[in-house]
Structure 1
Amino acid sequence: MVLPGLTSAQPAPALLANCATCHGVDGNATVAAFPSLAAQPKVFLETQLVLIREGLRDIPGMADVMKGMSDDTISALATHYAAQPARVQPGPLRPELFRAGQAVARQALCGTCHLPDFAGQQQVPRLAGQNEAYLLQTMKQLRDSPGPGRDTIMAATLHGMQDGDLEALAHHLAQSPVPRAAAAGRP
């Protein structure tokens, strides 16, 4: 899917435009139900795209786009979005809910894998500043529907959490400041 004259490190403009429909022109999604890709760890993005391409992660809107996509194109997309600066997604801060989510994050040890500032690392996604609705939806899916391509550590971590806990956690993560490195884009 790389256009003539572009290297594998440069995704085709048409492909980026297609991605922008849901994930935003710069990788910062403006639709709450979709994840922001900006400043996500490259390895995480590559892994998720391969899982989608191989049918191990079911995202109907992406299945046709990913079908037959080369590893080079996937790597180029991951490199591109990892380098984009991340922004905190808009939404009002609800202090009580934020503090409740902070307590849930501490108790669940979210910072162990996602790092204390929720910047993510390698195959672990950045959560700070991510879309709140997307975080909540994803955590509910991980808790309620473990299956192929699902992270068993996350499913176990979220097991037994009530919806209110997940709502507080999603709010806390979405309202957490985007770490400096992520705000500048990852190298």
Structure 2
Amino acid sequence: MQRLRETAAQDRTARGRQRRDVLHGLDVPARVQEPRVPGPARLLEPRGEGRLSRDDGHPRRQRQGRQVRALRPGLAAGPGDLGPAGLHPDDEGRLAARLRRLRRRDLPRLLLALIRPLLTTTVLVATLAASSAGVFAADPEAGRRKSEPCAKCHGADGNATIAGTPSLAGQPTFFTHWQLIKFRDGRRKDAQMSPFAANLSDEDMADLAAFYAAQRPRARSSAIDPAKAAAGRELVTRHHCASCHTPTLAGQKQVPRLAGQDLQYLLKLLRGFKAQTASDLDGTMTMAAQPLTVDEIENVAHYCASLRP
């Protein structure tokens, strides 16, 4: 600096090379004092440094107090939930571990909501089995006598002839028994069936179900479209209908027989499942019908009605 001052007078009029020689000829100290600039955010420090400079002209104790007061707001804010954007693209958008654990607290509740219909179905089927076999033995002959009021619509042997009315002959015992329970309890409603089932006892329903299950089903006289039936066969295979209704669509346990059933009844039922208005034990058929289009519903119905029961 002293040399600079000494040359200041003669350097005022200096130009070009003479001025550069003076400036670059100065001695540079070993350590140059630099202002302390807070560091940028880094991988392990997502928040930028906010420390005060080491020497700000205040006594050390007073300076430490100011540093503590400046640090408290940063601690109160807590760690960021998301890391700094732009540093590591693979890690961007990841939640902090503490928040991931909080989100997973809802998993048991969600799983319970999913399995509740299945648990309900299991309990109902087990109760139905106990009432059918453990409490009293079903009497098919008693069921025949009790079915006389049903013959007008469903036929004397359970083979209906009225379009839109299902045949009960050959239906699984559990299925018929469960449908009667739903009619009696109001879970399934029908102008003819609801009043009739309202006065049935558990024994009556078991006898009726046993009687109809013992009858031989006959094919219904429906106008089947061969092209639609062929398309329906492919749909039944694609949607794995046989996994519940058996490969011959004869039904089992609480799953009904579809083979040889009335065409109009099948159309009405499938359309009801699609519209979510049909009574469904565990929601399986309602979900299965959602992907089907109007034409596909007709194709499936034609195929089922075309099969020999």
CA distance in 2, matches of 1:156, 1:58: 21
Partner residue in 1 for 2:293: 162
2:158 aligned with 1:27: yes
Matches within 5 A, 1:4-153: 9=139, 10-11=142-143, 13=145, 15-146=146-277, 149-153=280-284
Larger RCO (CA within 8 A; separation ≥ 6): 1
Shift in CA distance, 130/148, structure 1 to aligned 2, threshold 3 Å: closer
Q: Counterpart in 2 of 1:176?
A: 307
Query: Matched residues, percent identical?
Result: 35
Distance 1:81 1:58 in 2: 21
Change beyond 3 A, Cα 1:147–1:129: closer
Who wins on radius of gyration, i.e. which is larger? Answer: 2
Supply the distance in 2 between the matched residues of 1:91 and 1:54 (Cα, whole angstroms). Answer: 32
Deviation at 1:18, TM superposition (A): 1.4
**5+ long unaligned stretches in structure 2:** 1-136
SS of the residue 1:11 aligns to? helix
Aligned AA (1:34):
T
Letter of the 1:104 counterpart: L
Mean Cα displacement is larger for which, 165-174 or 15-24?
A: 15-24
Runs of 4+ aligned structure 1 residues displaced above 6 Å come to none
Q: Distance in 2 between matches of 1:91 and 1:146?
A: 25
Contact persistence 2:224–2:305 (CA under 8 A)? no
Amino acid at match of 1:40: Q
- Tell me if the contact between 1:57 and 1:150 (Cα under 8 Å) persists in the aligned partners: no
CA distance in 1, matches of 2:233, 2:138: 40
Please tell me the residue identity of whatever aligns with 1:133: Q
Q: State whether residues 142 and 150 of structure 1, in contact with CA within 8 Å, keep that contact through their aligned partners in structure 2.
A: no
Deviations 1:6-44 (A, max 9, x none): x9611363x422111111111011012111000000011
Q: Which residue of 1 aligns with 2:42?
A: none
Which amino acid counterpart does residue 262 of structure 2 have in structure 1?
N
* CA root-mean-square deviation: 1.7
Q: Alpha-carbon deviations, 1:99-119, whole Å to 9, x = none? A: 011011111111110001001
Instruction: Give the conservation status (yes or no) of the 8 Å contact 1:142–1:151.
Output: no
Task: Give the conservation status (yes or no) of the 8 Å contact 1:56–1:149.
Answer: no
Give the CA deviation at 1:89. 0.6
Of stretches 120-129 and 19-28 in structure 1, the one that deviates more from structure 2 is 19-28
**Superposition deviation, residue 120 in structure 1:** 0.3
C-alpha contact 1:28 1:36 (8 A) present in aligned 2: yes
Give the drift of 1:159: 0.5
Distance (whole Å) between structure 2 residues aligned to residue 35 and residue 145 of structure 1: 20
CA shift, 1:151, in A, is: 4.3
Equivalent position amino acid for 1:121 in 2: Q
Give the SS at the match of 2:192.
Answer: helix
